[in-house]
Amino acid sequence: MNIGIVCYPSYGGSGVVASELARQLGRRGHRVHVFSYETPFRLSHFEANVFFHEVEAPDYPLFRFPPYLLALSSKIVEVAREADLQVIHAHYAVPHTAAAYLAKQMLAGERRLPVLTTMHGTDITLVGNDPQFYEITRFSLEASDGVTAVSRSLAEESAETFRLRRLPRVIPNFVDAEEYRPRNNPALRARFARPDEKILLHISNMRPVKRVEDVIRIFARVNGQAPCRLLLAGDGPERLAASHLAEALGLQERVCFLGRQDNVAEIFPLADLFLLPSAKESFGLVALEAMACQVPVIASDTGGLPEVIEKGVTGYLAPVGDVETMAGYAISLLTDEREYAVMARQARERAVNRFRADPIIDAYEAYYGEILNTP
């Protein structure tokens, strides 16, 4: 198939999922054309069958805001003709589905170009933060030939928020279990912790929804009971507040901010526990990546996280903001070697059995086929 994928390139889950999907589809022999304003960071290596199209929005003095949506629609039309695109897969309704819909209409007289939209969760948050996007998001979803959501929780919430006529199909996120796997690297580990110390890890874009200060608060409690270190990878608006809190609690020597890291598959296996105390998470791809590396996760009981983390089996869940309970789970797990070993193994098993790439790529392929064959 010739498939177009539209996504955001930045450091965030939706761009990662779109890029990994492009890579996997390319390896299956599909020709995949990716559209974005810069190369998505997970597509920085050469992949046969994956072609990147940079969309540049003109910045003429007349335009107060560069018309990215129009530039994207035009680029989709050009590539659809040149590469004979059969389907467009938009990750995020705004503005990607709107642009794909426009391209579809522009091509209507000469070819069919069905549009599949995948919702990632922050699409809804966007509307929550700025209601002026409500109508365009609702229209984009209803006008799509197919809509998927990355968790059941997100499918239900989006159907209710946007009063959708059809429930989005749930196609969960996936992990490349070959790349995200346990690795033994004592030399690297020794750079962050002594052998008797545990490592707690958090990775995110450090936006307010991630509650990074809760990560520090959990760590402070755990460190009081079991000697440990905290690694934080990623960067964002909450980093400074988290760093100040660590300093105020006298933890600066034990907390290490690694900054933005692209190769996180090497960082996860250094950790004994992964912390994700977010206020909301439609899926929590980082939790899945941690589990695939055999690292149990302690997270908030919210959104799609309970669909990823099986409570008491692959990690623990607690109400949002309940750092006391989260720390309690962390302490009991880190101080019980037998329980820890079982949970770490189960985390990897669940990631591989339930979320490995192959069956999930099959589900996307099948959906492309369905919308292609539905007039």
State in angstroms the smallest separation of the CB of 158 from ligand GMT.
11
Q: What is the DSSP string of 296-308?
A: -EEEES-TTHHHH
Residue 16 or residue 220: which is nearer to ligand GMT going by CB?
Answer: 16
State in angstroms the smallest separation of the CB of 12 from ligand GMT.
3
Residue 21 or residue 79: which is nearer to ligand GMT going by CB?
Answer: 21
* The token pair that represents 184 in the structure block: 């033994």
Residue 55 or residue 171: which is nearer to ligand GMT going by CB?
Answer: 171
State in angstroms the smallest separation of the CB of 237 from ligand GMT.
11
State in angstroms the smallest separation of the CB of 152 from ligand GMT.
13
Separation CA 72–CA 269 (nearest Å): 39
**Which residue's Cβ has the minimum distance to ligand GMT?**
13
State in angstroms the smallest separation of the CB of 21 from ligand GMT.
11
Residue 111 or residue 260: which is nearer to ligand GMT going by CB?
Answer: 260
> Which residue has 């690795």 as its token pair?
183
Residue 79 or residue 326: which is nearer to ligand GMT going by CB?
Answer: 326
Separation CA 262–CA 79 (nearest Å): 29
Residue 134 or residue 192: which is nearer to ligand GMT going by CB?
Answer: 134
Provide the 10 A C-beta neighbour count for residue 283: 25
Residue 15 or residue 315: which is nearer to ligand GMT going by CB?
Answer: 15
State in angstroms the smallest separation of the CB of 150 from ligand GMT.
4
State in angstroms the smallest separation of the CB of 3 from ligand GMT.
18
Residue 36 or residue 173: which is nearer to ligand GMT going by CB?
Answer: 173
Separation CA 93–CA 158 (nearest Å): 12
State in angstroms the smallest separation of the CB of 1 from ligand GMT.
22
Q: Name, in order, each residue with C-beta under 8 angstroms of 136's C-beta and a sequence gap of 6 or more.
A: 93, 94, 95, 98
Site residues for ligand GMT per CB under 6 A: 12-15, 17, 120-122, 150, 173, 205, 207, 209, 280-285
